[in-house]
């Protein structure tokens, strides 16, 4: 069976796929956000944001930090696996 390309030794075109997927996902996200906010004034948007309670902002912050920590741990784990080969 062929060795996996986890160490980045695969074809160069494969290295370009994930950045393109990321750019595509961000583009779609911005487009969807623009569609959702179309017709809403900045004042109305700010009013909706300020309606979010401090408790919910705390939960949002904790979840964001948790996601960042999990991603960082995964990257470190992945890096350790790649360097062990």
pLDDT tens digits for range 2-48: 555 555 566 777 788 989 999 999 999 999 999 999 999 999 999 99
- C-alpha 58/C-alpha 56 separation (Å) is 5
The structure's pTM equals 0.58
Tokens, residue 67 = 């996601």
- C-alpha 16/C-alpha 62 separation (Å) is 33
For 47-78, the pLDDT digits (tens) are 999 999 999 999 999 999 999 999 999 999 98
Residue boundaries of the structural domains of the chain: 52-85
Cα separations in angstroms, 6 against 9, 73, 76, 83:
7, 17, 14, 10
- C-alpha 34/C-alpha 40 separation (Å) is 10
């Amino acid at each position: 069976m062929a060795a996996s390309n986890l160490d980045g030794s695969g074809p160069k075109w494969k290295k370009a796929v994930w950045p393109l997927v990321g750019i595509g996902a961000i583009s779609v996200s911005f487009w969807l956000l623009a569609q959702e906010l179309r017709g809403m004034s900045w004042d109305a948007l700010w009013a909706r944001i300020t309606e979010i309670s401090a408790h919910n902002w705390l939960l949002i912050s904790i979840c964001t930090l948790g996601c960042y920590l999990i991603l960082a741990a995964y990257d470190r784990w992945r890096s350790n696996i790649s360097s062990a080969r």
